[in-house]
Structure 1
Amino acid sequence: MAATRLIPMHISKGWSLKDSIKAKTDYAENPEKTNDKEYVSSYACSPQAAAEEFLLAYTEYEKHARRKYDHEVIAYQIRQSFKPGEITPEEANRVGYETAMRFTKGKHAFIVATHTDRAHIHNHVVFCASDISNTRKFKNFFFSSFALQRVSDLVCLEHGLSVIKPRPYNEREKRTVYPKRESFRDDIRMAIDVALSKRPKDFDEFLLRLQKQGYEIKRGKHTAVRGKNQKRFIRLRSLGDGYTEKSIREKLGGIEKGKAPSYKDEDFDLLLNLQDVVAKGKGPGYEMWAKKFNVKNVMKAILFLQENGVRSYEELAKKAESTAKRFDDINSEIKGAEKRMQEITDLRNYIFNYSKTKETYVNYRKSGYSKKYFSEHREDIMKHKEAKEAFEKLGSKKLPTVQELNTEFQELLTKKKAAYKEYNEAKDSMTKYQIAKYDIDKILGIGEENKKDHNKEKTR
């Protein structure tokens, strides 16, 4: 469950545009809050140089729009807070990334920083007010916060997280208030589904699976269970259709008889065999089989393969591999550009620092390297030394001018933005083939054991 908030970010009073943007991104990427920036991701920008890229993008937008306001909105922040104990930092960052991507429709560069310094894990998503093309600004439309919450809820549902139940508009309750807990019976039904998905051999093993989930079992004429914080035992027969002891025993018998078939021959018509699997699945154990393999996803996979003319498992595997390689190549190209952009940013800062502190360092030398002078001008002297060391590492290479560095940075930024379009297409294609292959592997029973058997047959 995630509570969200959309916050416009203005130029702070008395601050420059550059300092305002940097302050906002620095707070989000705070190493102490993000486990030394382990939980920071980004889109269409580099996390290390996000502030500078946002600044360049917004400056270009101002030139295009031919207008400038003192209290202009320069960026937006999405705060996304999760229920304590429900999500890991890694998954929270993925949820934040997907939420930001869908809400901005991929038109705005953003960073996602997951903070773990509070009891509740939460995301700070900062996205640039101007779009990637630098021609438009994000419009904070009426009820945009409700649209954001809806997008967040959809992403949370897809990740198996709970969502905040909608409340009438006239109820002025804060969205951060957690909804009332589901009933114990709902928890037990969910625990039963989990236990059955482990394919227990018999009813005793099924009860053992429930015990491992923290449930106390009471045997007798009517089997009953009691979970954490439950005062009384609840009988299985009171859980409704599909969850009584009789229903569970019938399902356990069906699991043994109604296993999904497993194919090991790659030279088969994939679509015909998949349709055969679905047709034959209407016998005993079909309900459990459907829950485990998610028939809806399988149907989507079959439709996707038909549209793309894939009719063998071997062809599907090759497509999944080739699309993954294409995505990796484009991703490497973007990362290379980002690395060089970071180098340019650092070198540009060294040039600025060297120029600003040159006079101070000359006076330090004239003072005979006085300790008193050093203590009074420590920061400037150290910046100057750091810049000199950076220049020495370049060796005999001619030091580029700031104008040359700015030109190269802008070229790399343009190249990276252009690559992101292909990046998104490649990622979308790769994701679809990977999901289709995963679903097909599941329905055909092609797992590690099947693959080992298949390899043994090939070597004979």
Structure 2
Amino acid sequence: MATTRIWAVRSRLDHMVDYVSNKEKTVALETVIDYATNDKKIFEKEYVTCINCAYHDPYSSMTNTKKQFNDNKEILAFHGYQSFEAGEVTPELAHQIGVEFANKLWGDRFEVVVATHLNTEHIHNHFLINATSCVDGKRYCNTNKDIHNMREVSDGLCRKYHLSVINKTKEKDNYYREKPLRELAKESIDYAISISLTFTSFVKELDAMGFEVRGVEDSFKIRHISSSKFIRVKSLGNSYTFESIRERILGHPIKIQTIYDKKNFDIDYWCKKYERGELTGFQKLIMHYQYVLGILPKPNSRRFKYSKEYYRALKHMDEISDQTILMFKYDIKTIDDLENFQSNIETKLNKKLEQRQKLYNKIRRCKDTDLKSKLQTEAKSYSKEIKELRKQMKLCNGIEERSKQMEQTISTIQEKERGKNRYERY
């Protein structure tokens, strides 16, 4: 038979995420997708299916749905689980059942990622369900009726494919308390580690999934709501000792979202060049300014405090990020480069304006309807180019002006930090 579980995926407050369009929600959602489609677990990409969302980028599909329906609720998705009896199914059949299962339960209204994991004795499916419907924006609530329906649909599919099904309620309850529960505990711990920044947040995630947590170190143990007994966590294996879990939480890579993710610009590449000292003085100033203010996370830092200057900079976050993208995109390394770039933009802009005006003059004199329509379309294309050039001109002016203020702002913040450190010493 197949056992099923489902729990809510909740938002995680992250200092940088507060500004970027509630990206703290999206930070937790992206991590779950990475976990559910982890290549080390599934071995082959063929065991991942996306329903109602893009296979190569389900994260964007789900977040776009939330934006479309203006959904900023705390629960952003649901993470489901379907585990089969050891040796009872092949990976292909498990995945086929998982896809049918997801389509029956959520496929008519919700975006779902189905991933089949082969890394344990019990082959199992993971389901990531967007809490916001892509059809009407209404939310999936996961009521007791939904949970009961999950079990019924799962059992129905097991019968369809001639897999074992336990029918007696008492017998089924005992089954849930035995070995599959230990598998669920390991999966739940792995998942909680993958989205936690601290041990405290790890415990909160386990609590949200229905686990009671007690003790520390050798006495660290958990109990699921469906079981009457605690599981001593270290008995699950060497990767599940108290110290191993702490090390895994602190050691796994965590991607902190920034405004550059929203703009689809790879700022990480330039952050690494900054850390290696490979940027010019002008480029380094622009990056250092963002590190000091907290717009970008400081290297080897998991959390940072925001200054008053940071909150003032929030008003100009889009402009600062656009200026940074412009600099790196067009390889502007010095003030001289900036002035030359600005001069070229001005020349292009004047030429485009002149060409568009000539088209406008032709349009006014033109009496042929088809030709006039063609000229209007051509004029619109010039308008789009002109708008972009004007934006670049404005950004150039802003870079020059802001660069004069950056050093003073950095100096002010660092002086405050030095004063605070002196105060804390005494």
Q: With structure 1 as the length reference, what TM-score do the two structures score?
A: 0.39
Instruction: From the CA coordinates, give the structure whose radius of gyration is larger.
Output: 1
